[in-house]
A and B are shown apart, each in its own frame.
Chain A
Amino acid sequence: MRVYAPVGAVAPAAISRAVTEPTLAGKRIGILDNSKPNAGLLLRRLAESLAARTGATVGPVERKNAALPAPDDLLARLAEAEVVLTGSAD
């Protein structure tokens, strides 16, 4: 007997990922802290470590609520960086 699959189609992505930077030298590493415990500490240490190894600089650093989308003005400030580190869960 024939039955439907229950999942349906997937809509296209509204945005695409940025092209990966070939090198971090001279680039800015931004941080988007999502307020989860220790996220800011982890991301800053990671950014500082990467910067020390590659010649990049750290900043800007922004913080948002984990449960809500990042506001447009915050994203605009982060866009000054070529690379942004984010993502931490509990």
Chain B
Amino acid sequence: MASRADYDVYHHRISCSELRPVPFGLDPPPIRIVGQTDPIGSRLEGMANPLEMLDLTSDDPEAVRDCYAERGWGDGLPLVAPTPERVDAMLAGCRDDPDESVAVLPPRSGVATRRVIAVNAVLAGCRPEHLPVLVAAVQALARPEINLRGVNATTHPVAPLLVVHGEIVQTAGYNPGLGAFGPGNVANAATGRALRLILLHVAGAVPGAGDASTQGGPAKYTYCVAENLAESPWGGYAASVGVAAASAVTVHCGEAPHNFHDMESTDPAAILDKAASAMTSLGSNNAPVSSGEFFVMLCPEHAAACDGAGWTRDRVASYLHERAQMRVGDLRAAFALRAWAPWQEALDDDAMMSVTEHRGNIKIIVVGGPGKHSSVIPSWGMTRSATVPVEV
């Protein structure tokens, strides 16, 4: 068992000019913990503030960015200086121990405490009311069904999409309406950016070291949206998956949104056939991975058309499951490497097969404002979404 003396926690002063590039993700992190035997996910005993401090000559956002970049940190954009005063203000409403481990994030096995989360929230430009959303998002990312090690390590451009549900959408200023995927709203933009900074810094998902994505992707900068509960005819998504909290977040590790539009139909089938068309692409991982999920983000007008015809959320998902089918032989010809269920492998080439095994893998959420554009967000495949309560 490690003793208090085994913890070598130090705050040392170094100037920006003394910083040297570090092959981040390969070398030890700046904080040294010697002989630490603390089990994963538990409290870091005796470590009141296990974070290194740096001395900078300027709090100019570009200077912070450049200084961090020397260490392989940051996302390339200017950063708000995470001074102790700003981090303390970010944590002011936090009732829990800020140095308790919230989660351990792979591949770096970085310990995400509330203080570390708050540092990254400050860097991204978050406000204190966004912190509970980030803490819940980190808890969701650490769920085993997310498979964060695979999400971060793959060559696919997957990024965790964060969907915010419930009361905190209003109280913390998230945008569920027009332009919800951005840009322009502080809460959506900064929370999504902070989550990516946590992945870069704490999880070590740095391109080349902990993130092998061939082309990267714009969703890896910020990817946060809010559910438009006020215009959802079927109630909130979180409650529909058994999370009956006042506020919640969902994390879905997928691609950037694939748009579909229908300006003329009032018939749900005509609208949803276009969604099914977007789902049946050989370009997405859902084609070779049969257990992958789809998030279908319906705009309020498309959702209202479905509801007006008496269609429930489950019926929408069932219809899409039935219509989003491809010929088995075409899928086989395209992918020698497949992750299909045995019964699917047994199908004849001329059989038609849904691009996801079960209708429950098709998730329906209402997002956006006026207009008739909706979107499909395919999955990376080897991951499942997680919805967790937000503790305010």
Judged by DSSP, the binding face of B is: loop
A67 at the interface (CB under 8 A from B): yes
Interface residue range, chain A? 20 to 34
B302 at the interface (CB under 8 A from A): no
Given contacts A5-B30, A6-B197, contact A12 B55 (CB under 8 A): no
**Shortest beta-carbon distance from B254 to chain A in Å:** 14
CB-based contact B382/A5 at 8 Å:
no
Q: Which of B40, B119, B381 contacts A6 (CB 8 A)?
A: B119
CA distance A16 to B238 in the complex (A): 39
Given contacts A11-B104, A35-B337, contact A6 B33 (CB under 8 A): no
B268 at the interface (CB under 8 A from A): no
Chain B positions 8-40 with a Cβ under 8 Å from a chain A Cβ: 13, 28-31, 33, 36-38, 40
Given contacts A10-B109, A10-B110, contact A68 B150 (CB under 8 A): yes
Q: Which of A5, A6, A11 contacts B111 (CB 8 A)?
A: A11
CA distance A2 to B87 in the complex (A): 12
Please, which residues of chain B bring their CB within 8 A of the CB of A90? 155
A37 at the interface (CB under 8 A from B): yes
Please, which residues of chain B bring their CB within 8 A of the CB of A11? 36, 38, 40, 101, 104, 109-111
Interface residue range, chain B? 35 or more
Please, which residues of chain B bring their CB within 8 A of the CB of A12? 33, 36-38, 40, 109
CB-based contact A67/B40 at 8 Å:
no
Please, which residues of chain A bring their CB within 8 A of the CB of B58? 1
Given contacts A2-B54, A67-B147, A67-B154, contact A8 B113 (CB under 8 A): yes
Given contacts A12-B36, A65-B382, A68-B382, contact A7 B82 (CB under 8 A): no
A89 at the interface (CB under 8 A from B): yes
Q: Which of B33, B56, B113, B339 contacts A3 (CB 8 A)?
A: B56
Please, which residues of chain B bring their CB within 8 A of the CB of A41? none
B residues in contact (CB < 8 Å) with A:
13, 28-31, 33, 36-38, 40, 44, 47, 50-59, 64, 68, 71, 73, 81-84, 87, 101, 104, 108-113, 115-116, 119-120, 123, 147, 149-150, 154-155, 197, 201-202, 212, 337, 339, 381-382
| 30 A-B contacts (beta carbon < 8 Å) | A1-B81, A3-B82, A3-B83, A4-B52, A4-B53, A4-B54, A4-B83, A5-B30, A5-B31, A5-B51, A5-B53, A5-B54, A5-B119, A6-B68, A6-B119, A7-B52, A7-B73, A7-B201, A7-B202, A8-B29, A8-B110, A8-B111, A8-B112, A8-B201, A9-B31, A9-B44, A10-B31, A10-B33, A11-B40, A68-B147
